[in-house]
Amino acid sequence: MTDYVNKVVTFLPEMTKAITETGLMLGISLLMAVLLGLPLGVGLYLFSQNGRYPNRLLATLGNTYVNIVRSFPFLLLVIALIPLTRLILGTAFGVYAAAIPLSIVSIGIYARLVEQVLLDVPKEVVDLAKSLGVSGFQFVWHFLLVEARSGLILSLTSVLISMVSYSTVMGVVGGGGIGDFAIRYGYQRYEYDLMYTTIVLMIIFVMLVQWLGTRWAHQLDKRK
């Protein structure tokens, strides 16, 4: 036990750095999911064949992006996006470079989840908005998002948990993170106790995120 504690203390600076890197990648990708994935999901709902503003071209473009991103093997996507990452940042390595593919995936995943949540909004709410003659912005802001806010929070929680899993492979582009720490300092050095420690930390983090997300969604649920 003493050897284990000493080992953890020895590698604590590297572990802290890895946790910080993971937090930064997750923060950026989650922010992009909200800023871009939410509007995209709303657009998929509005521009669909049965939506408020049917537009086949925009719906096809949005669905194509979402389907490609969600079906692309993530590791291959990271590699395929290296030229784009280098074009945007001037480098393909580092935490910020790793955040680009994570953000692209989080946007696509959250957009689809948002669309599915909005499709579950009761028809009575949509009909009420139509009868009141509200504008498109009012319809989205005061009716759709308010009615679906609990589901949107749960969907965002699911996206964050998925990004935790995806972030573990970002060592491929020098993104670091807790997953990269587990592989380099745990698996490759045969320090399996360190590897299992990081796994336990990730499990605890995921459970905490799920608990907080569920609790927040429950507080916002209009059906209570």
The DSSP result for 77-101, as a single string, is: HHHHTHHHHHHHHS-S-SHHHHHHH
pLDDT digits (tens, 9 = 90+) for 72-110: 888 888 888 889 888 988 887 888 888 999 999 999 999
What's the whole-model pTM score? 0.91
Residue with tokens 């999911």: 33
Q: What are phi and psi of 196, to 5 degrees?
A: -70, -30
How is domain 1-220 classified at the CATH fold level?
MetI-like fold (1.10.3720)
> In Å, what is the CA distance from 90 to each residue of 16, 83, 149, 156, 173?
27, 9, 38, 30, 13
Percent of the chain with pLDDT over 70: 98
Q: What is the pLDDT of residue 223?
A: 59
